[in-house]
Amino acid sequence: MFWIQMALAIFSVILGSWLFFFPRQAIDFQIAFYHCINWIMQPVSMEREIRNTKCMGGGTLILGISGILYLLLAVK
């Protein structure tokens, strides 16, 4: 169970880093995905969308790092 939790925490760090450092790429990926399922999705304000994506990525990154620290220090 430890390794599954560690893998999820590491995945969170990777995803959070991608969202935080490359928000435009993440938004473009989401737009392309919705286009594949026959939906059109465009943000009203790209600047706000980038800011919100960076905030979401930062939160995910912090939670992932916290999870890794918890698993390494508290779980035995």
Residue spans of the domains in the chain: they are 2-73
Tens digit of pLDDT at every position of the chain (76 positions): 889 999 999 999 999 999 999 999 999 999 999 999 999 888 899 999 999 999 999 999 999 999 999 999 986 6
Query: Which residue blocks in 1-76 are alpha helix, DSSP H?
Result: 2-21, 23-36, 46-73
pTM for the predicted model, two decimal places: 0.84
Alpha-carbon Rg for the chain, nearest whole angstrom, is 15
**Nearest 5°: CA angle at 15, between 17 and 53?**
70
